[in-house]
Amino acid sequence: MSGFGADEDLLPGSFRDGRWAPAPTMPTRGEAIRTILGAVELQDEAAVEEALMALGVNPFELFRSVAA
């Protein structure tokens, strides 16, 4: 692997060209982490929220649980 964004690293369900590409199946833990990190790296709040929602995570509940 040559790092996030390299063509060989782009998997279904990853953050591509500034947009979330939903996976046909549930992403693996590693894919989910790379997806969220890629969206965060681009500082795209909407993409982070969309990626979390696609993974079944409510961003507001996540924030509340971290803040508690």
Least confident of 2-11, 15-24, 57-66: 2-11
More confident: 1 or 17: 17
Name the average pLDDT for the chain: 71
Please measure the distance between the N-terminal and C-terminal CA atoms of the chain and give it in whole angstroms: 37
User: Do 7 and 1 meet the contact criterion of CB atoms below 8 Å apart?
Assistant: no
In this prediction the pTM is 0.45
In sequence order, the 6+-apart residues with CB closer than 8 A to the CB of 9 are 1, 2, 3, 34
Position of tokens 């947009």? Answer: 19
Mean pLDDT of 21-34: 71
Segments making up each domain of the chain, as ranges: 7-67
| Residue 56 CB partners (closer than 8 Å, separation 6+) | none
Q: Is 21 exposed, middle or buried (0-12, 13-18, 19+ CB in 10 A)?
A: middle
pLDDT above 50 (res 7): no
